[in-house]
Amino acid sequence: MAEEQEKDNTWVIVGVSIAAIVLLVVLLKKDETKHLQSGAVASLQQETFTKIEKRKTSNNSSAEAISGK
């Protein structure tokens, strides 16, 4: 009697899993970079650099006042 072979779905499961993971990564990456398009990061960087420059100039003027110049 001929035995019926069970169909091996291993490669189908592996393929679907890989496709789902790639799709998930693409969707999450798109969501991750959404905040960069709004310009909020650029304005925060500009504000930070402005504050750093103010701090540098205030530190320099304090050092000059201390040295007696």
- Burial code of 9-45, b = ≥16 C-beta within 10 A, e = fewer? eeeeeeeeeeeeeeeeeeeeeeeeeeeeeeeeeeeee
Nearby residues of 35 by Cβ (< 8 Å), 6 or more positions away: 41
Residue 1 corresponds to which tokens in the numbers above? 């009697």
Cα–Cα separations (whole angstroms), residue 39 to 45, 52, 65: 10, 20, 39
- Domain spans of the chain? 40-69
pLDDT at 62 over 60: no
pLDDT of residue 59: 61
Tens-digit pLDDT profile for residues 8-31: 899 999 999 999 999 999 999 887
Between 20 and 62, where is the model more confident? Answer: 20
